[in-house]
Chain A
């Protein structure tokens, strides 16, 4: 098992799927000749040529719709939207066409596109380049939403998404492309549904996804060493559908829950997980669950303000201590 970077894992999944099936294509801004803003498509243009590795104009709704239309006829497009902030412009085609066409055609037509995009706050990118959008995508019927927290998931989820008969949105993070991790040498397909226990524990469950899984893991480390609290970390790599059974199972074990997300409240991923806890296992709880999330502000530019907006592992630790009456 080799240790590779997150972007390399995504690139490998592209390469393998494109080598296997001539109808798999990829498209997006700067993905071809320039090799991709985050290198996720590096070398593919040289290998597969401009008809299959399409440098698109800066027309997010247009090229996303074009990918959807191509998928009607069996082409399998992997569409990169450079930043999730621009995905708003493609929302008409994702929301109105890709997600709904199977239903409104009575199952006759499907749009099995893969849309990948990088969201999240990086380093002082300001209000229009720092957004999280997963909470919007996960509320759309007919769309699968996954969000890899490590290179293995980034590779295996993209592989599975390409093979899926449903449209899949893959939520990546701008700060994670250079993260290293082990990826199996052999071909690997990660399930599109479910959740993973990233660290086993007994006293509290920390729910995270994508980057917040790492806050939770770091917080669990601190909680174990400094406070003798055994935290379980559940990685919700699938945001739609959410793994209700997995959420219930862990809460039933630890009886306490903290939900960490980079998205802002209200109406965040955390709200939905809290609702699921209420619906599935309210009587298992020893204390009200706590949410950790961003402040409801357009992302500020100033370094100190940005830091104050976005939570991190320290906020997760604080939330747990509050839950245990230690803060």
Chain B
């Protein structure tokens, strides 16, 4: 399925990629602390699904690899970067950090750091949607290894039982931290695992955004038309380690190179060059413009923003 506006989506994916690469650099420079889980390689998953859904309208929740999902829902990259810098202007006021990006105004309901934790939260949001009678759906993006948590099974059962309007997107990047899927999981085809609960599911390539779009379209329509929950598995790959402390000793450089041959950004770009008279020069100019924006606006904003006030340490623990 062809994207309606390939140019815009390509630009958004490049921004996501360059944003994450700049985070890497800032982490090395010790501007960003804590754990940092980066998204390069998986962009077609988030963008493909969200192009089929309604960003800012549908409720989205995910794990700790969350910067890009927040931005796609409508979060300002400046506020996301400021959060990583631990600044008061950060989207979570510097209280959350990389793993806890929130932008409730745009219905990005958070990044959570317990693997599998968002499953029941997503089902609960769907329960609320069901009660309130709106047209929204809940979308839960998680990785393959979250499916080995009890919360996965408990949630699939309840979501199916109560026919909740929730779409589970499994970004299967083949590794749970540093353990390969086939070494941790008896059934490696993730989409098959929800059959036990009578949940409709599908699987597709997670690198080609237009393939993702087509499958996501069907998935979103299923959930939005109140036919019950849906589970979509996307086969993808993260280029970097699980987090910054990961030297990727558990997989080969050859494997990484093979996946990079099917890079989601390059695939869309090359298709546009062939089909849309798009040029490499245009692409490079866009990259340059994005890098300028990240440096001169995003990083500058994060650098220049104030720290949270120590006197406000306990603000937000309970309601005032």
Contact = CB atoms under 8 A, between A and B. Distances in A.
Contacts of B127: 66, 69-70, 75
A141 interface: yes
Given A69-B122, A72-B121, A104 B95 contact: yes
A71 B124 contact: yes
A70 B124 contact: yes
A32 to B, nearest CB: 13
B269 to A, nearest CB: 36
Interface string A67-84: 111111111000000000
Contact of A51 (B95, B97, B131, B154): B131
Interface string A21-53: 011010000000000000000000000000110
A67 B155 CA distance: 12
B96 A104 contact: yes
Interface stretch (A56-64, A197-205, A271-279): A56-64
B316 A109 contact: no
Contacts of A85: none
B104 interface: yes
B318 A105 contact: no
Interface in B73-112: 90-97, 100, 102-105, 109-110, 112
Contacts of B95: 103-106
A51 B248 CA distance: 47
A144 B104 CA distance: 24
A158 to B, nearest CB: 18
A48 to B, nearest CB: 12
A102 interface: yes
Interface residues of A, number: 44
Interface in B116-172: 117, 119-132, 138, 150-151, 154-155, 157-158, 161-162
Interface string B51-67: 00000000101000000
Nearest to B99: A104
A104 B132 contact: no
Given A57-B157, A62-B157, A108-B102, A69 B125 contact: yes
A110 B120 contact: no
B125 A109 contact: no
Among A25, A54, A108, A142, find the residue whose CB has the most chain B CB atoms closer than 10 A: A108
Among A57, A72, A75, A96, find the residue whose CB has the most chain B CB atoms closer than 10 A: A72
Nearest to B136: A73
Contacts of A108: 92, 102-105
Contacts of B105: 108
A141 B315 CA distance: 12
A92 B123 CA distance: 16
Interface string A241-261: 000000000000000000000
B73 to A, nearest CB: 13
A28 B151 CA distance: 16
A142 B96 contact: no
B124 A72 contact: yes
A212 interface: no
B272 to A, nearest CB: 37
A166 B318 contact: yes
A92 B117 contact: yes
A105 B158 contact: no
A65 interface: yes
Contact of A66 (B91, B96, B155, B318): B155
Contacts of A68: 120-121, 124
B117 A70 contact: no
A165 B120 contact: no
A198 to B, nearest CB: 26
A107 interface: yes
Contacts of A51: 130-131
A93 interface: yes
B317 interface: yes
Nearest to A99: B317
A124 interface: no
B114 interface: yes
A97 interface: yes
Given A56-B158, A69-B121, A97-B121, A106 B129 contact: no
B149 to A, nearest CB: 9
Contacts of B187: none
Nearest to A113: B124
A66 B120 contact: yes
Contacts of A141: 317
B274 interface: no
B319 A102 contact: yes
Interface of B: 59, 61, 90-97, 100, 102-105, 109-110, 112-114, 117, 119-132, 138, 150-151, 154-155, 157-158, 161-162, 315-319
Given A69-B127, A92-B114, 5 more contacts: A23-B131, A101-B110, A104-B95, A106-B102, A107-B316
22 contacts: A22-B131, A51-B130, A52-B131, A61-B154, A65-B155, A66-B127, A66-B155, A68-B121, A69-B121, A69-B128, A70-B124, A72-B121, A75-B131, A97-B117, A102-B318, A104-B97, A105-B92, A105-B95, A106-B102, A108-B92, A141-B317, A166-B318
